[in-house]
Amino acid sequence: MTSEEITAIVRRLTYNEQGLIPTVVQEERTDKVLMVAYMNEESLRRTLTDGETWFYSRSRQELWHKGGTSGHTQQVVSIATDCDADTLLVRVKAAGPACHTGAESCFYDTLLPADGEAEGPHVLADLARRIEAIRHTHSETSYTEYLLRTGIDKIGKKIGEESAEVIIAAKNGNKQEIIAESADLLYHLAVLWEDRGITLQAVMAELSRRSHKQGNKKEVGHLDKTF
């Protein structure tokens, strides 16, 4: 992107009286809102130039590069503006949590859950992040660390056990028991993915690929499953 193109983008926006524009940051892979911050013309220029998010701190009155200290940078995928050109939506690939508390998103305190339900895939993403963090803490009191340290045979055995318990719960017809045993199974699957170096995003991408694939075609060596 040329300097002229960057200038054109910067100048077409509407800034508030402090010269700032609210910026919503969204994770490109999960659509989860990570944070809301402010940009001014200079931080937007740096964002467009560097390909990583820069913001303006109202409290410190200075520019700051997201992840400049922590390493939790945000690689910019796209930038959009609303109909009034006075708010930005920046979609990113986040290299770590967005919140200073260590949470993936700053919006982790749910005041009004949707129909009493949790956030679905976002809960799994948070679980995967915590499991990854535990791997590097070497906590001898952690069951997760024990599974990762013991290895695939133990993890595989637990997945087999939890799968059987889901089936038993289903045959018993107890919905709450099915929910609890399914949660146990998903947890142990998440540990398996971490052990094998598989990301939740890769699993979700495969599910998405299958749900959008038309027809039932054979690929080399196996049947390509679709929904």
Query: Would you say residue 32 has pLDDT above 80?
Result: yes
Cα 207 to Cα 202: distance, rounded to the nearest angstrom? 9
Q: Distances from the Cα of 116 to the Cαs of 125, 175, 181, in angstroms?
A: 19, 16, 20
Q: Please report the DSSP string for 193-204 in residue order.
A: HHHHT--HHHHH
Least confident range of 35-44, 52-61, 99-108, 187-196:
99-108
Least confident range of 11-20, 81-90, 137-146:
137-146
pLDDT at 220: 43
Q: Distances from the Cα of 54 to the Cαs of 89, 158, 169, 195, in angstroms?
A: 13, 44, 50, 34
- For residue 114, name the pLDDT band (cuts at 50, 70, 90): low
- For residue 117, name the pLDDT band (cuts at 50, 70, 90): low
pLDDT at 203: 87
Query: Would you say residue 218 has pLDDT above 90?
Result: no
Q: Which residue has the higher pLDDT, 219 or 82?
A: 82
